[in-house]
Amino acid sequence: MKHVIIACALLLSVIRSTHAQTRVFKEVGNEISSSIRAITQDGALVGYLLFTELEKADKDSFNYKLTIMDENLNDIGKVNFREMKLDLQSVAFEQDVLCLAYMKSNLLGYTYDRRREKKDAIKKGYLAVYTQFIDLTGKMLKTNTIRVNTDLKGYFNNASTSIGSGGMKEYLRVSNVNGKGFACFFGDDRGKFLYAYDKNGNQTWHKRVGLEDADYNMLVSGHDVYFLVHHRDPTVEGGYAIQGYGLDDSTTISRQYLKDKKGNQLRVLSFTNNPATGKPYVSGAIINPRKGKGPVFLRTIAKGRYSGLFTLNIDGRGRDSMKPVYTYWKDQTALTNTKGRFNHNKSFLMAGPSFKDFSGNTYFTGTAAKRTINTGLVIAEAATLPLIIPPIYMLSLGGTRKFIARESMVLKQTPEGVLSLDNSIAVANSRGIAAKIATEMMDNKSYYSLHSPEKKATYLIITEQKNITLYQVDAKKVIRTIPRKDGSIETLIFPAKEGHVLVAEYDKKEKSRKFSIEAL
């Protein structure tokens, strides 16, 4: 499960419900700001933390308040402290200890009226990673400060009241290590760094884990940490590799580049832990080396940009521990043609996330993109033929075809590599998008998955403009549809405790946010 960040950026006062699973946060001013972060342990949500920046204590520091809530939104502890400007980035939980990771600065987030003051502040300014370790009684066990190197002068904005990314090359994140402590990762101008802490906040080791210009995605699995490394190349898709470290002793797990058995590059859609085994896996699409170049337009997908789908199960540290499952379109003629066009709806898949169930199957989700004639544009081009230039311009810009984002699709890949259409889910179509400019980013839907270990159930959440659809994968049915907007109230859905979702409602009229924990 991905870590959830629910940003409020409001001045809040809290009103508790008698049901203890509902909280209402109201806007009451502009001086104070708050944000809510999910508290996670082993990828599961175990509570929430409300971080509030109060009034300024003096010219250099602020007063802060932490409100710790359980999974039902009940208060279980509060902590007040004073510090320089902070921006809470990540929260993790292990053995009754919270680890909070902030960006901290004596420059970013401050404003200066005089040019000389601003110049002196930039000269003395710094940015740091700041971690706090707090038990559930509110006792501060330890804090750590690690200065980082970024282009502060270039990033500094005298009008900004927040730190933001601070110019970091990799955003700050922390994750718990079961039975041991915490892993903390970030990247600055010097490289990518991994720090290991015990549960009391004592550093056990640290090392630089990367120098290259690449994106690093961290995943803790047991007592190992893995990084999905992505070298971005605008001319060619792919460029993924996996490397890791043993968190007990910093042992290196050798880097492996992600390619299929034919040497083709892979596009990663998911990198997370198997809900049944707790071990890592990677899944996504197999790239056609002749077609997988340049930006990902839907027209390139229709021309056979991808050759099929894959799952890589990581079963240990050795080079032979990666167990691949490859499924190629050419071997699935009852389902698709060789370019990936599905026979049942004559559409292509605009890829969403992929995920596993508790039986070892991998699911690939997304929207059916159907290519049709752009009738309106063709008529306009024909009508303006005598003018010569306008039809040429319209033809070069829009072409004669369009894509429409239609129903949601759920594909199922078995551990043996058999691929099937598990279901199609009726949702709203998008407007037609000119085929020459249509990309996956123009999909009118977004997706994420949830797991219920207790029920061994998997759910898919589909969000579109008007509705949110909750779909139970194992039962192949829609279990609930929630309107996105009802009068002045706008609704969003986020993961919550076992078998539940967090329903967030924003009332524009009352300027308030209501958070409710509701059963799936």
Structural domains in the chain (count): 1
- CB atoms near residue 253 (< 10 Å): 20
Confidence (pLDDT) at 360 = 96
Q: Does the pLDDT at position 289 exceed 90?
A: yes
Which residues constitute the domain of residue 122? 84-211
Residue 392's SS3 state is helix
- Residue 151 located in a structural domain: yes
Residue 511 Cα to chain centre, angstroms: 27
Mean pLDDT of all residues in 277-285: 97
How, if at all, do strands 191-198 and 181-188 pair? antiparallel
Q: Give the pLDDT confidence of 294-304 residue by residue, as tens digits.
A: 888 998 999 99
Q: Give the pLDDT confidence of 114-173 residue by residue, as tens digits.
A: 888 888 999 999 999 999 999 988 899 999 999 999 999 888 887 788 888 899 999 999
Q: Residue 9 in contact with residue 36, Cβ under 8 Å?
A: no
> Rounded distance, CA 364 to CA 470, Å?
16
- Answer with the residue of higher pLDDT: 488 or 379: 488
Mean pLDDT of all residues in 330-340: 96
Q: Give the pLDDT confidence of 35-70 residue by residue, as tens digits.
A: 888 898 998 889 999 999 988 888 889 999 999 999
Q: Give the pLDDT confidence of 291-327 residue by residue, as tens digits.
A: 988 888 998 999 999 999 999 999 988 888 999 999 9
Average pLDDT in the chain:
88
Burial class (CB in 10 A: 0-12, 13-18, 19+), 143: middle
> Rounded distance, CA 257 to CA 252, Å?
15
Q: Does the pLDDT at position 242 exceed 80?
A: yes
* Entry pTM: 0.88
How much of the chain, in percent, has pLDDT values that exceed 70?
90
Token readout for 495 is 């993961």
- Residue 333 located in a structural domain: no
Banded model confidence at residue 385, pLDDT cuts 50, 70, 90: low
Say which residue the tokens 């509902």 belong to.
22
Burial class (CB in 10 A: 0-12, 13-18, 19+), 52: buried
- Residue 365 located in a structural domain: no
Q: Give the pLDDT confidence of 485-503 residue by residue, as tens digits.
A: 888 888 888 888 888 888 8
- Residue 279 located in a structural domain: no
Confidence (pLDDT) at 311 = 98
Banded model confidence at residue 513, pLDDT cuts 50, 70, 90: confident
Q: Does the pLDDT at position 334 exceed 50?
A: yes
Mean pLDDT of all residues in 91-119: 92
Confidence (pLDDT) at 492 = 86
Token readout for 162 is 């927040």
- CB atoms near residue 334 (< 10 Å): 9
Contacts from 272-277 at CB under 8 Å and sequence distance 24+? 272/1, 272/2, 272/43, 272/219, 272/355, 273/43, 273/219, 273/221, 274/313, 274/356, 274/360, 275/356, 275/357, 275/358, 275/451, 275/453, 275/458, 276/356, 276/357, 276/358, 276/359, 276/360
Rg of the chain over all Cα atoms, to the nearest angstrom: 25
Q: Which of 421, 403, 519 is nearest to 470 (CA)?
A: 519
- Judged by average pLDDT, the poorest of 70-79, 186-195, 257-266, 496-505 is 496-505
Token readout for 187 is 């990247």
Q: Does the pLDDT at position 403 exceed 80?
A: yes
User: 496-519 burial, b for 16+ CB within 10 Å, e for fewer?
Assistant: bbeebbbbbbbeeeeebbbbbbee
Strand partners, 127: 105, 148
3-state secondary structure labels for all residues of 20-43: CCEEEEEECCCCCEEEEEEEEECC
- Residue 195 located in a structural domain: yes
Q: Give the pLDDT confidence of 410-468 residue by residue, as tens digits.
A: 999 999 999 999 999 999 998 888 877 788 888 899 999 999 888 899 999 999 989 99
Mean pLDDT of all residues in 353-367: 96
Q: What is the DSSP string of 134-163?
A: EETT--EEEEEEEEE---HHHH--TT--S-
- Residue 167 located in a structural domain: yes
> Rounded distance, CA 512 to CA 514, Å?
7
- Residue 115 located in a structural domain: yes
- Residue 479 located in a structural domain: no
- Judged by average pLDDT, the poorest of 79-93, 206-220, 369-383, 455-469 is 369-383
